[in-house]
Amino acid sequence: MATSLDELRSQSCTPLKGAEHALSVGEVSGLVALLPGWGLSDDGKTISKDFGFKNFYRTMAFVNAIAWIANREDHHPDMEVGYGHCLVRYTTHDVGGLSRNDFVCAAKVEALRG
C-alpha cells in the first residue's frame, strides 16, 4: 500500500471486480489520511472532496482535467458541478466499496490543484 501522496499518484488503476478487492477499514483510514481535505462517507464506501474556484471557467477546466484522468485510468468519479465548485466522489461499484483505484485517482485529482 502507498505510504505517500506522491507514491499513490504515481500508480495506475487496474480492473477490479469482486468484494475481495474492497479495502479494509484500516487500509482506507491510512489512505484517506494521505489526501488533504478528502472525507470518508458514513458508510465507509465513498471518498469525496468539494473543490472551490473563483469562477465557472476555472471550475469547468478542472472538470475537464478530471475527465481526462478518468478516461486514462478507466475509473470514473461522480461529480456535482456548480458555479465556483466541483464535488468529486469516488467509489468502486464493482467491488461494493473503496478500492485502491479510488485513492490513485483522488491523488491524481489532488495534483491538479498543485
| Each residue's pLDDT tens digit, 40-51 | 999 999 999 999
- Give the dihedral sign, CA 84/43/6/70: negative
Contact 22, 98 (CB under 8 A): yes
- Statement: residue 71 has pLDDT above 80: yes
Q: Provide the b/e sequence for 35-58 (b: ≥16 CB within 10 Å).
A: beebebeeeebbbbbebebeeeee
Which pLDDT does position 2 carry in this prediction?
73
- Give the residue carrying C-alpha cell 478542472: 62
> pLDDT digit string (tens) for 10-68?
999 999 999 999 999 999 999 999 999 999 999 999 999 999 999 999 999 999 999 99
For the domain spanning 5-112, the CATH number is: 3.30.1360.20
